[in-house]
Chains A and B, each alone.
Chain A
């Protein structure tokens, strides 16, 4: 059965800390893995990963995919209170997307 598992479920850190969020998956005919940030409303797209070992970076956020071990990590360095959100991972297989349950990150001032 196809599935996407994110860990941890919830995380509380202080401003300035670095966090690593994990996403592991089992999907038939993997096409891509996507990361999103969701605050109060619709998600914001962060990254799409299709190739193993190539880091994608955007400011303090970065992500990498390991297609052999079937996981991805999302790193956030020097966290800020504005990073508080639910981070969703989704994996695209043939004709479908499967979302993980998300990691709820709370950054304290």
Chain B
């Protein structure tokens, strides 16, 4: 069945560095992918909608210059956290719908980011 993968699963980095997270759809093409963030014991928060071949749509309060999204192909979207700080430490999850009718939404396994 359709699967979404994320890489890496875990990242620990120093404050000020940039971190890139990849999201791939493995058995299907995804013109749209979604990036979420989840802090401990809180609900998912949609950060942005990534559109293949065009600019991402960011949710209110999400800094587009800090969270760079690139969706260069129908199977790959990347989220780059630039100049990461400890408050960016979170669980980042991507997802995509399969099928024209968006029958099922598949989530990646998530990337846990810890910024020291």
The chain A residues found within 8 Å of chain B, CB to CB, are 34, 38, 41-45, 48, 88, 90, 95-102
* A48-B102, A99-B45, A99-B46 known; A41 vs B34 contact (CB < 8 Å): no
Contact B43 A99 (CB under 8 A): yes
B44, B49, B107 interface centre (most CB from chain A within 10 Å): B44
Kindly list 16 other residue pairs between chains A and B, CB separation below 8 angstroms, not including A48-B105, A97-B46.
A38-B44, A41-B109, A41-B110, A42-B95, A42-B107, A42-B108, A42-B110, A43-B93, A44-B107, A48-B103, A88-B44, A95-B57, A96-B59, A98-B46, A99-B43, A99-B45
The chain B residues found within 8 Å of chain A, CB to CB, are 34, 42-46, 49, 57, 59, 93, 95, 102-110
Main secondary structure of the interface of A (DSSP, over half): strand
Output the nearest chain A residue to B57 by Cβ-Cβ distance: A95
- Smallest beta-carbon distance B33→chain A, Å: 13
* A95-B57, A96-B59 known; A42 vs B43 contact (CB < 8 Å): no
- Chain A residues with CB below 8 A from B110, complex form: 41-42
- Smallest beta-carbon distance B57→chain A, Å: 6
Contact B44 A96 (CB under 8 A): no
Contact B49 A95 (CB under 8 A): yes
- Smallest beta-carbon distance A22→chain B, Å: 15
- Chain B residues with CB below 8 A from A96, complex form: 46, 59
> A41 to B106, alpha carbons, bound, how many Å?
13
Output the nearest chain B residue to A97 by Cβ-Cβ distance: B46
